[in-house]
A and B are shown apart, each in its own frame.
Chain A
Amino acid sequence: MEHFEYVLKILPPMLEGWKVTLTLFFLTLVMSLPLGTVMGIARLSHFKPLAWFMEFYVWLFRGTPLLLQLLFIYFGLMTVGIRLERFPAAVLAFVLNYAAYIAEIIRAGIQSIDKGQYEAADVLGLTRFQTMTNIILPQVFKRVIPPIGNEVINLVKDSALIYVLAISELLRVAKTAVMRDETFVPFIIAAVFYLFMTAIVQQFFKWVEHKFDYYR
């Protein structure tokens, strides 16, 4: 009974933290998916400097810890006079980081499409742009659903990293309560929240995969 009352007591602040986590989650997705797609295509550009730049970009953002990128974008930019609010800084770091991973997935997806598809479109007179938008990308999207699903699950859990900028997301709220109240219950609640979110993501991607079952 006393546990139940405690849960009711800490639930409102935890829901507040959850809201912050969800906001970061959705903002990152909405921006990094299109950005990563464009970057993945640019990575294969025939204009070499653009392709090289994208390769460098991906190396930079996959090659360093996301935690470091968060610190760099908030504190590092501050030292050169660019002062971002903490939450926008966090969103920026996440978008740049996730776009790099998504770009790699899209690049691999594009390269996995059979050369014959390009040739068929070519002899039918489609332009390169028409080929990309009508023939290649729709097939790429089907193929990248599973790896993108992985990234989205990672994003649910990575969101906890923004504690480092002292932003009160779900896990940070839980940790504060654990220290203050000397009980492990908030961590259990946090775990339930994360499992709930990943379950939704998992079911969503299962549904999307099913949606694309109409062709092979």
Chain B
Amino acid sequence: MYMIRALDIYKNFGHLKVLKGVSLTVEKGEVVAIIGPSGSGKSTFLRCLNRLETIDKGMIEVEGEIMVQNGPDGKAVYSDENRIALIRRKMGMVFQNFNLFPHKSVLENLILAPMLVNKVPREEAEKKALELLEKVGLKKKANNYPFELSGGQQQRVAIARALAMNPDIMCFDEPTSALDPELTGEVLKVMKDLALEHMTMIVVTHEIGFAREVANRVIFMDNGIIVEEGIAKEVIDNPKNERTREFLSKVLRI
């Protein structure tokens, strides 16, 4: 059963063609890593999947619900806002820069959306939030404010905050790119634990080692298209495409 199906996605920023016909299907419980050089369109593609960016052409379907599809004139037409809001609630998002709410404590960051959006009573929301904080190893920091935490801790809180909404799919947009190297491990560990629980995950990343070890499938994007894709270990260890090989040798510095 697939969770997300994206077909032939096109996206321009003005005259710049960022996505030139990208298709991706993600099965339930699958972990897909998207790698590629800067400007290849990988982050934009991820952001299109939960409509942080709107697409110009193509179709996106989440758990059988159509979010956007081509109209008769071949241009993308989005479903109505209420339907999109419901679809987007199935997806959690983790950003490169964490984007925690600085004026809210860690606990408040986690209970805010469940209480406001899902109308969960405070007590229940707090209970769930503390469980999630325990899971990411930050229960002791529940009453701290984001600025008192390290980057790695902030990102773990951000992951817990996304999980607090009970998503079916977790999207990660370069979750370790803003971190000092010694802090990436703790974040990757949390993500690996999630993968072991069979969370469906789409991860845009530069962490090739993580992609190789944790992802089922890896997608290599360059210049707005998918150049190569396949089983993570195979693509990373034996890339078939010249551009994939070149990219991997650069990032792995072999």
Contacts and interface: CB of A to CB of B under 8 A. Distances in A.
Interface residues of B, number: 26
A125 B88 contact: yes
B165 interface: yes
A135 B101 contact: yes
A45 B161 CA distance: 29
Nearest to A125: B117
Interface in A86-138: 114, 116-117, 119-120, 122-126, 130, 134-135, 138
A139 B102 contact: yes
Interface in B88-124: 88-89, 91-93, 95, 97, 99-103, 112-113, 116-118
B67 to A, nearest CB: 14
A207 interface: no
Contact of A123 (B88, B112, B116): B88
Most buried by A among B50, B91, B102: B102
Nearest to A138: B103
Nearest to A139: B103
Contact of B91 (A119, A123, A214): A123
Contacts of B103: 138-139, 142, 215
A116 B147 CA distance: 16
A3 interface: no
Given A139-B103, A214-B145, A215-B147, A124 B113 contact: yes
Contact of A122 (B52, B147, B161, B165): B52
B116 A119 contact: no
Contacts of A126: 113, 116-117
Nearest to B145: A215
B196 interface: no
A120 B52 contact: no
A34 B118 CA distance: 30
Given A135-B101, A139-B103, A119 B89 contact: no
B85 interface: yes
Contacts of A119: 52, 93, 95, 99
A124 B85 CA distance: 10
Interface residues of A, number: 19
A72 to B, nearest CB: 41
Contacts of A123: 50, 52, 88, 91-93, 162
B161 A124 contact: yes
Interface string A132-160: 00110011001000000000000000000
A126 B114 CA distance: 10
A117 B99 contact: yes
Contacts of B99: 114, 116-117, 119-120
Contact of B165 (A116, A125, A134): A125
A119 B161 CA distance: 14
A139 B162 CA distance: 21
Interface string B177-194: 000000000000000000
Nearest to A118: B99
Contacts of A116: 95, 97, 99
Interface of A: 114, 116-117, 119-120, 122-126, 130, 134-135, 138-139, 142, 214-216
7 contacts: A116-B97, A119-B52, A123-B91, A124-B113, A124-B165, A142-B103, A215-B146
Given A215-B146, A216-B145, 19 more contacts: A114-B97, A116-B95, A116-B99, A119-B99, A120-B95, A123-B92, A123-B93, A124-B112, A124-B117, A124-B165, A125-B88, A125-B117, A125-B165, A126-B116, A130-B117, A134-B112, A135-B101, A139-B102, A216-B147
Q: Return the 10 tightest CB-CB contacts between A and B, nearest first.
A: A124-B113, A120-B99, A116-B99, A123-B93, A125-B117, A216-B147, A215-B145, A215-B103, A138-B103, A215-B102
